[in-house]
A = this chain, B = another copy of it.
Amino acid sequence: MNNFIFENSTKVYFGKGCVKEFLAGIMDGYGKNVMLAYGGGSIKRNGVYDEITDILADRGKNVVEFSGIMSNPTYKKVMEGAALARKNNIDMMLAVGGGSVMDCCKAVSLAAAYDGDVWSDYWEKRGIIDVEPIPLGVVVTVTGTGSECNGGAVITNEEKKIKTGGDYPKCNPKFALMDPEYTFSVPKMQTASGGFDILSHIMETYFSKTDEDNISDDISEALMRSIIRNLPAALKNPQDYTARSNLMWASTMAENRIIKLGKACDFQAHQIEHQLGAYTDCNHGCGLAVIHPPYYRYIYKDGLDKFVRFAVNVWGISADGKSKEEMAAEGVQALAGFIKEIGLPTTLRELGVKDKSILPEIAESCNIAPGSYGNMTKEAILEILNESF
């Protein structure tokens, strides 16, 4: 196993009723000025907003609202939040939502505390900047990104057409409140795309070097099997608590750094999707769903044994005298079948890409993760994008 350093400071409160049970007590540990951040307002329709604002009012907090955080949160929105936080001397931030809201708030918590050019110094150079972000707590209402237990914040710079993010341990939320019942009202398409995002995080870790016996790969297989069981169950019955709770915790486990330990984690498919997102503003999980099968068909021969293992241990495909190549291809086919089953798009056209002329520019803008299977190049990415069209 490769050497690693691991820490994760976020305290998790998980389960039905956890906001009611714990939020008030937690808030007493922070100052008066609270920034309450959320997205498009679904939390106003499902009662979560009222539940939380009642608790904040009861604890005597001065609440400053920061709303309208979009999917693929922009650097401009981050700057808006940072200015608001500075102006109001915010003591702590409470992000209520999914990955976009959490990521935007981590970025705000950092940007508000930093005097330099935070885009350039942190996102562009992937640097660690030595500031103490504003303390952040999260209430998760959509599962998928696993942002609740790491320091990652994926932000889109619209001007530069770059969507990127790193993992800065100081940006780990101080606490995460995770009530699976809060996700009952998430629409089917968003449930599916969030679920696929989880699966993708795990696959991107699993299909990265090294390939020696590594317990992280065993754990990844366990998580993938759980998602394959529970995502269709949650789509069938959105109020299936067992399915929703397993998906919610799988989402955290995929991104709380545990399965990455000792692994290279190239996240090459994410690198491609990020640029798709930057150019088309497509849904993240949908973009990943389109990219993955053609990407894996391109690289599987370079990671043949791992793809065979994927077919057997994740999809339960039996060997029956098949060649390694046949086994590996069947595993990728099973993945493609699962994507269809959960109703996600399978072509770039479905994501709104009208013709192929934009693809070379997107391919050119993608990062190449060093050491990925298949020795990725910009030409190879263009081939994969054409294949995905």
Contact = CB atoms under 8 A, between A and B. Distances in A.
A150 interface: no
B1 A6 contact: no
Interface stretch (A42-50, A158-166, A220-228, A342-350): A220-228
A213 B225 CA distance: 11
Interface string A238-264: 000011011001100100001001100
A298 interface: no
B218 A225 contact: yes
Contacts of A236: none
A212 B242 contact: yes
Nearest to A5: B13
A57 to B, nearest CB: 25
A5 B10 CA distance: 11
Nearest to A210: B242
Nearest to A9: B9
A185 interface: no
Chain A interface size range: 35 or more
Contact of A2 (B3, B5, B15, B213): B15
A324 interface: no
Contacts of A5: 11-14
Interface in A171-217: 180, 212-215
A230 interface: yes
Contact of A1 (B223, B246, B262): B246
Contacts of A11: 5-7
Nearest to A1: B245
Contacts of A226: 213, 215, 218
Interface in A259-277: 261-262
A242 to B, nearest CB: 5
Contact of A3 (B1, B18, B253): B18
Nearest to A224: B218
A11 B13 CA distance: 21
Interface in A320-351: none
A221 B253 CA distance: 16
Interface in A362-376: none
A223 B44 CA distance: 42
Given A215-B222, A218-B225, A249-B261, 14 more contacts: A1-B15, A1-B180, A1-B242, A4-B14, A5-B14, A6-B12, A9-B9, A14-B261, A213-B243, A215-B246, A215-B249, A218-B222, A222-B222, A258-B258
11 contacts: A1-B249, A2-B15, A3-B16, A3-B17, A5-B12, A6-B11, A7-B10, A14-B262, A215-B223, A219-B222, A219-B253
Would you list the 6 A-B pairs with minimal beta carbon distance, nearest first?
A: A3-B15, A218-B222, A1-B245, A222-B222, A7-B11, A6-B12
